[in-house]
Structures are given as structure tokens and as C-alpha cells.
Amino acid sequence: MATLVATFGPPGAFVHWSLYALNTMTGILLGNYDYVSVATVQDFRTALASRQSNNVHLYTDAPERGLSSAFIQGRMPFLALNEDPADIIGFMLRTYDMDWKQAVRQTNLSFAATSELFVSPMALRISRSNGLTIGHFIRQVLQHLGLEASDEQFDHIVQRLLPDGTPASKVEEAILSQIANSAPIGTGLDLSGPELRIVEALHVSMRRGENGEGPGEFRWPAELLLGKGGMDELLDQPIEMVGPARCLVYGPYLYLPIGVWELTLALEVDENGSGNSIDVDVFHGVVLHMETFKLPAKGRMALIIKFSVTEGREPVQIRVIQREGAIEGKLHIGDIQIRRIAETM
């Protein structure tokens, strides 16, 4: 009889340890198995076709919607592992060669791509913050996946997960002793004041509730939009409009869960006596919505745009495009306010 163990969650220390635990359990209880890490349906099919065993352990931190839907609609039980986004970002910064913007976007991608899975009734949601014992962790997984372990197998799993440990030993103890850079980071990110403000705002956008749901409202800091400095620099404001027709800002290349969203973008213009027109659009694989309007010489305004996200792995861009060359003018862009207005179209 073939067994599929499927695990989804962000690339933090808790997931690293949990994958080791699940591979250990699968090996002891089922014998031979194939471990595959894929994100798309096609890659999963390819992995299944070339597997060496009937038993498979699948893991991905950012599945495409088709793969998520296959598990949800197929009524297949799976594990959804959660960790505080601050700890995930801190772990990635200390473990991999990436800057904080890369770590933030990778964590955000995983959050968006797995959101449907975390609210599914087929998910066993386990969070690092639950404070589970190793015994409780093992029993929950066995029950949810419909697996059984003899007393001898159970004890063997415990000893493999924490030598000299007992079922009452804490999962956190095993994580800290076995995974480098795994200590919770809290507010201890080594960032400047402005950078920390940006990251903390994004933490809010990626925290899940008890039932796996994400926040209904949050903001994306305007500094993550891209201007003439590209990915390497935070947006420098106000934006000088002097120059040819061009895209003034774009990005922030962040991700949203599948659903219908309302975006509010605040703009402030000054020193624009000769006037100009701009386009503001939302790009998600294609242009979802566009507004074109004439700027006043001076003043504040806000755009409210509604759009649908159909693939959590596709980044969202807001683009502000100057339609004509300008000899004057300054534009300031406020933080992007985001609100979920429906789960689906």
C-alpha cells in the first residue's frame, strides 16, 4: 500500500526540524521512501514517475495553486507548519547568503502560496509557538495521516529525534540543539531603524490566526517600491518628475493570497505648475486594473483599486507611469494599504 506524506510551510528552523522528524518517522514506519521537494503539478508528476518506492514524502514552501488544489479537492490529509515570520526572516538571514529584502520576499511568497492550504480542513496545523512535546508531535502526525506505530517504533522515533530525550521532551529543545541559527529572533534583527520599520510592517501581513487565516488588513511600506535605484536601494522620496515619459516607480514584488483585494494608494504632488498625466496600474501576470488622470499643480489624492489574485506565486506590482516629459514636479507616494474584500471572485 502506497503512502503519501505531504508537508507545506515556510523555510524556517521549525520546518527544517519538522522535515527531519517526518523523514525519520516515514523511514521507521514505512521503510523505503522517496523525499521530493517540488512546487508544481508537473514537477510532482515527474517525481512520482521516477520514484524508487511506493512511499513518498513531499515538501514545498511555495506550491502553485494547482498543486494546492489537488490536495484540498482530493481530500488528502497533509501537514501545514507555521512559524513567526520574524523568526523565519532571522533564520534565513543568519543561514543563507541573502539580504533582508530577499528574505522578506521569500517569506512573503511562502505565506501567500500556502494560504489556501492553511485554512483547509485537510490540514494538520502545527506551529512552533504551540510548545509541543516530541511525543505530542508524533501522536498528532500519526493520527492525522492514519499511521500506526508500535511501542518499540514510537520509542525509536523519539530517540532518533532527540538522543537521551523522552516523549515529554520539548520540540523546542530539539530544534535549538540540532538546527543552527534557530533561536527565535524576536525584535533582534540587525537592521537600521528605517529597515526595521519596513520589516515589522510586513511581519503583520504574514501572521496567521489560530484557524490558519491571514490578516484582513495590512500595509506595504512605500520604501519597497522600486525607483531609479532598482532592487538595491529603498525608494528615495519625493520622486523628481523632471525628465522624459517613463515609469516612475514599480513593485514592490510582494505576494498576496488568492482572493479579491482592495488597494489604497496615497499620492501627493507639488511644484507641478505645467501639469502632467500619469497611469497607475496593478500588474499580476497581466494588467488587472489601470487608472489614468491629470495631476494638479499641488495636492493630495488617493486611489482605491480592487483586483483579484489568482496565483499566490505571482508577485503583485503597482506601477506609476508618467505619460509625458516633465520640466518640473515632485511626487510622493504613501504606504500601500491592503484590505481583503472576498475569498474568491
Q: Rounded mean pLDDT of the chain?
A: 93
Fold designation for 216-342: Jelly Rolls (2.60.120)
Quick: pLDDT tens for 191-231.
778 888 899 899 999 999 989 999 999 999 999 999 988 88
pLDDT above 70 for 187: no
User: DSSP characters for 37-83?
Assistant: E--SHHHHHHHHHT-SSS-EEEEESS--HHHHHHHHHTT--EEEEE-
Is the pLDDT at 1 greater than 70? The verdict is no
Evaluate the omega torsion of the peptide bond into residue 252 and state whether it is cis, within 30 degrees of 0. Answer: yes
* Distance between first and last Cα of the chain: 40
Tens-digit pLDDT profile for residues 288-341: 889 888 889 999 999 999 999 999 999 999 999 998 888 899 999 999 999 999
CA 45, distance to chain mean position in Å, is 24
CATH of region 4-178: 3.40.50.300
Cα separations in angstroms, 140 against 23, 132, 173, 266: 15, 10, 18, 47
pTM, two decimals, is: 0.94
Count of alpha carbons within 13 angstroms of residue 167, beta-carbon side: 12
Predicted pLDDT at 120: 96
Q: Which residues contact 60 (CB under 8 A, 6 or more apart)?
A: 8, 37, 38, 39, 67
Q: Hey, is 289 helix, strand or coil?
A: strand
Residue 199: partners with Cβ closer than 8 Å, 6 or more residues away: 86, 89, 100, 104, 189, 191
* pLDDT tens by residue, 322-332: 988 888 999 99
Does the structure show a pLDDT above 60 at 345? no
Domain ranges of the chain: 4-178, 216-342
Q: What is the per-residue pLDDT across 112-164, written as a single tens digit (0 to 9) for each?
A: 999 999 999 999 999 999 999 999 999 999 999 999 999 999 999 999 999 99
pLDDT at 231: 83
At 31-68, the pLDDT tens digits run: 999 999 999 999 999 999 999 999 999 999 999 999 99
Is the per-residue pLDDT at 186 higher than 70?
A: no
Share of the chain above pLDDT 70, in %: 98
pLDDT at 196: 86
